[in-house]
Chain A
Amino acid sequence: MEQAEQTHLEVTVRRGDADGGKDEVFRVPAHDNQTILDVVSWIQQYSDPTLTYRFACRVGMCGSCAMMVNGEPRWTCRTHVNKVLDGNKLHIAPLRNLPVIKDLAVDMDPFFDKWVEAEGKHHPTKTRDDPIEQINPESAERSEANAGIECINCSVCYAACDTVAGNPDYLGPAALQRAWTLFNDAKNEDKQTILDAVSGTSGCHNCHSMGSCTHYCPNDLNPMAAVAGLKRETAKSFFRRRKNA
């Protein structure tokens, strides 16, 4: 209701590049139904065409639009202004824990490189000539794998994680969750390769289970639980190997 009486929002946007930046304030017309991405787009279209930001789908599918909104990481296309407004003020900044390219666009390369580093890629068990394997969708293993497949690679969890902030090599919640998903996928071979990839100095044991990843994931996924699963399996495999050595 307060919203309806406000005609304008006071929007502070972090401008700059890898060498630093400064805050700039814009006055943006307020509407009843408005997302953070709408606000950013309005600034770029009507106030300052040099404002750089990134989006694609506008419906929470592509994972390209995440930014820090009033200090918290969010998918901007599906975050309503009313939900996060502080008085009539907004602060919009590039995603945390990633290098800034320009203004609100960050370089996501380190984030994606870590998916590969964590062996978050498919290791097939069969070739195209084999018959398709039947998977029981109700099996415990498959349920565990299903839990993480809706990840849209938005990096919100990665931006929320204080352990990433403290150790830039830490693989982070999303990459580890992908590794856990594949570890539980019956069509994925070479489980030990995954466990080895996630148990090094940059791996899952860095995690302090503070749960910011799970708290902020816009798709309600639970990377903290996935990381805990990897901790459990890597520990088991460690003792198994010692027994067999």
Chain B
Amino acid sequence: MTRPPRSHPLWLAFVLHRLSGLALALFLPAHFWVLSMALTQPQRLDSFLEFAENPMVKLAEFGLVFLLSVHIFGGLRLLALEFLPWSNKQKSLAAGAVGLSLFVSGTFFLQAI
């Protein structure tokens, strides 16, 4: 079969939403597991938190915050598209969601380093 039609802005927004959703689904269990150490193994949590001071880990956290944020704003765009009166500005709104997410995750990163 021929290569499917792709790479227009809203299709890319769809892919970003799916990948970020899947990444979050993988990340959250790990996240809760680490948090649960506060109750079960406080020393191990402390050493993990020390490791998390590493700049490379901060950079990875920036990625995670971006994914979470882009999934939330992108998801809100989709909910608005589905449940509010139609707007023709979907491409701008999708771009806005990405921009807002970069702002949020960028701010987080500058705070963190």
7 pairs from A and B in contact (CB 8 Å cutoff): A71-B5, A162-B11, A208-B14, A209-B90, A210-B10, A212-B8, A215-B11
**A37-45, A77-85, A105-113, A223-231 - interface stretch:** A223-231
**B31-39, B40-48, B56-64, B75-83 - interface stretch:** B75-83
Cβ contact of A215, chosen from B3, B8, B82, B86, cutoff 8 A: B8
Known: A72-B5, A212-B6, A235-B82. 14 other contacts (CB 8 A): A93-B2, A96-B5, A210-B10, A210-B14, A211-B10, A211-B11, A212-B5, A212-B8, A215-B10, A215-B11, A228-B86, A231-B82, A232-B83, A235-B83
Are A210 and B11 in contact (CB-based, < 8 A)? Answer: yes
Are A91 and B82 in contact (CB-based, < 8 A)? Answer: no
Are A160 and B5 in contact (CB-based, < 8 A)? Answer: yes
Could you tell me which A residues sit within 8 Å of B by CB distance? 14, 68, 71-73, 91, 93, 96, 159-160, 162, 165, 208-212, 215-216, 222, 224-225, 228-229, 231-232, 235
CB-defined contacts of B6 to chain A, threshold 8 Å: 212
Are A209 and B10 in contact (CB-based, < 8 A)? Answer: yes
**Chain B contact residue count (CB 8 A cutoff):** 18
B110 at the interface (CB under 8 A from A): no
Are B2 and A14 in contact (CB-based, < 8 A)? Answer: yes
**Between A and B, how many residue pairs show CB distances below 8 Å?**
59
Report the nearest A residue to B6, measured CB to CB. Answer: A212
B29 at the interface (CB under 8 A from A): no
* Contact A91/B2 with A228-B82, A228-B86, A229-B86 known, Cβ cut-off 8 Å: yes
Q: Which of B5-30 contact A (CB under 8 A)?
A: 5-6, 8, 10-11, 13-14
Report the minimal beta-carbon distance from B9 to chain A, rounded to whole angstroms. 8
Q: How far is the CA of A91 from the CA of B1 in the complex (A)?
A: 12
Q: How far is the CA of A69 from the CA of B14 in the complex (A)?
A: 24
CB-defined contacts of A210 to chain B, threshold 8 Å: 10-11, 13-14
Q: How far is the CA of A222 from the CA of B91 in the complex (A)?
A: 14
Cβ contact of A225, chosen from B4, B13, B86, cutoff 8 A: B86
Report the nearest A residue to B85, measured CB to CB. Answer: A232
Pairs A-B, 8 closest by C-beta atoms: A211-B10, A210-B14, A71-B3, A93-B2, A231-B82, A215-B8, A72-B5, A225-B86
Q: How far is the CA of A208 from the CA of B2 in the complex (A)?
A: 22
Report the minimal beta-carbon distance from A25 to chain B, rounded to whole angstroms. 15
Q: How far is the CA of A222 from the CA of B86 in the complex (A)?
A: 11
CB-defined contacts of A14 to chain B, threshold 8 Å: 2
Report the nearest B residue to A93, measured CB to CB. Answer: B2
CB-defined contacts of B2 to chain A, threshold 8 Å: 14, 68, 71, 91, 93, 96
CB-defined contacts of A229 to chain B, threshold 8 Å: 86
Are A216 and B5 in contact (CB-based, < 8 A)? Answer: yes
Report the minimal beta-carbon distance from A216 to chain B, rounded to whole angstroms. 6
**Among B4, B8, B10, B13, residue most surrounded by chain A Cβ atoms (within 10 Å):** B4
Are A162 and B4 in contact (CB-based, < 8 A)? Answer: yes
Report the minimal beta-carbon distance from B64 to chain A, rounded to whole angstroms. 23
Cβ contact of B90, chosen from A159, A162, A211, A231, cutoff 8 A: A211
CB-defined contacts of B4 to chain A, threshold 8 Å: 71, 96, 162, 165
CB-defined contacts of B82 to chain A, threshold 8 Å: 209, 228, 231-232, 235
